[in-house]
A and B are shown apart, each in its own frame.
Chain A
């Protein structure tokens, strides 16, 4: 397709023209600085801060939330054209006319992320005070949490890809430290390493993508690129898009880099809620939506994004169906829900705002359910196996009720938040591509199944716990965040009231096109609810009506076996990545030992043998030396005679 033809069909990309920060916005740097300072004090201060470390850690994030809220209110008071605010902080280095600087970009998109990260972050910090109260290393835990929040805020506030990359690596580090927080357990240490290594693969995409962006545009600043990207070569844009998609796959646990997320559940539950459900794993969605000036112009990369989203949303849902570990079940669900967001982002301008909308509502209800799972574990002696639960609704009424709100939200029951965000995505997917729409619809049905199964096995059915387990409700510091998050899970849908979030984000991600659906939205919603109801009913028939065995049955269908083995994601990596790598290493070792070392040792041997032979000439007999002297002299004389005569 020629450039002109493409220009006819292509989108127009919204241009970002930030204004300088003033008033409350000049405090933006503090949003990052507060948790960063908290992390520094807690991690450098050591044991001296043990007594009050958790309070400081919570206070810094709450402070960031206060500033974010003030800035958000300030942003609401401004006109749409003034809502991009830039705060230049410092220059990394200058060379001639070229300058690499660090600046913050606060606009409609980062404002929402700031509220999510600091808001949910504050709640999870408060929850952790209770959850980690028996852990001797609680202060260090809060230090790492603060480090994570600071890095995540760098990621979403930075005005260029370089800063995003810095935050990207920072959250990767914090995630590694927190997954492996109980590093005395082998499984936790291995899970942390696995997450780190798999994320490195995605990070290669990020580094190459940012480099290609710099090579193409001569800058990595979002504002500058949004003005230039329409003139860029479409195939270069596609390449950038695919590299950024690889980055997103790593961080957001999308196929084919999904394998680390399930193991990451080895970390403490607040970590799973904050990092591996609400915030960090959504960084990939943020990256794609933020790079809308690239993705809107390249149909091919968008299609790839959409395909990855569809595959992952189905994979995650299927894996979630077979897990007995409550946290792993939720992790599969997280994969699946992020698949929805990635799918929405792959739909183009029509989906960007929906992806962010679902990201926010998912942040609420999934954090809620993870913290609920943590509360259950807290009362069940840290047992995660749902086959040992049952009938917990009476023992833990608050946890049960709040979890139920999250459950209804993820199912998409009106008027809970998930209904608005997920239905919109499925509708838009149908309007853009029926195959993607079907995948999303089936995914919704499977979601209904695995969430109902989890709900039934944990809170209903007969009690299956041992006599020495005494389930009890968690302390106030843990139930209070649950109640707030449950309220947000119910009310999160108001963001779509009057199309608010779509209009709000339009200046950043572009105006969505009108799309036409064959059926009216109400009929569509009814179909989706019917499919979800089938899933719920199936779960009730298979789990709720039968007795749940304490041990997982071993005689199961091949399909269940595959789902239990994470759809062979690890086996695939084992045989197609690790085994060939190990094979290559072995071959190279043989080559090194026999060919490279052989050549060097052979040369050394030949010198050693020949010098050994020559050494025999040194007999120690003076007269033999004299003979050779004489013989040599005679040879010289003869040679001279031959030459001269």
Chain B
């Protein structure tokens, strides 16, 4: 099988996610973009696992999913709390932790 298409797709998804993280202000959208980047890397992992004919890449993808799930739990909780106290989901508003 030719992995090129899969890798290109993965790269496109990753780039969309990365640009989304950098340009969007809404914390939920930023969060979803992060998920997009993680899934893009999962796609790349699985593709290479298929090419190499072993399971290591797939196992790594599972781990990424687990981490992503945990991250969602913590991340959404933080976003919710910030929204409750500051009435805003903008990441630029939450900029108090600085010099």
Contacts and interface: CB of A to CB of B under 8 A. Distances in A.
B22 A627 contact: yes
Contact of B94 (A619, A622, A626): A622
A618 interface: yes
Chain A interface, >50% SS class: helix
B70 interface: no
Interface string B85-99: 000000110111111
B36 interface: no
Nearest to B91: A622
Contacts, number: 30
B99 A618 contact: yes
Interface in A604-635: 615-616, 618-623, 626-627, 630
B55 to A, nearest CB: 26
Contact of B96 (A620, A623, A626, A630): A620
Contacts of A621: 91-92, 95
Nearest to A630: B18
Give the contact-size bracket for chain A.
10 to 19
A627 B21 CA distance: 9
Contacts of B21: 623, 626
Chain B interface, >50% SS class: loop
A630 B22 contact: yes
A491 B34 CA distance: 118
A528 to B, nearest CB: 94
B45 to A, nearest CB: 17
A630 B25 CA distance: 17
B40 to A, nearest CB: 14
A623 B91 contact: yes
A620 B97 CA distance: 5
B98 A620 contact: yes
Contact of B99 (A616, A622, A626, A627): A616
Contacts of A619: 95, 98-99
B81 to A, nearest CB: 15
A616 B98 CA distance: 9
Contacts of B96: 620
Interface in B43-99: 91-92, 94-99
B63 to A, nearest CB: 19
A622 B30 CA distance: 10
B95 A620 contact: yes
Nearest to B92: A621
A351 B30 CA distance: 109
Nearest to A616: B99
Contacts of A616: 99
Interface in A418-459: none
Interface of B: 18, 21-22, 25, 30, 91-92, 94-99
Interface of A: 615-616, 618-623, 626-627, 630
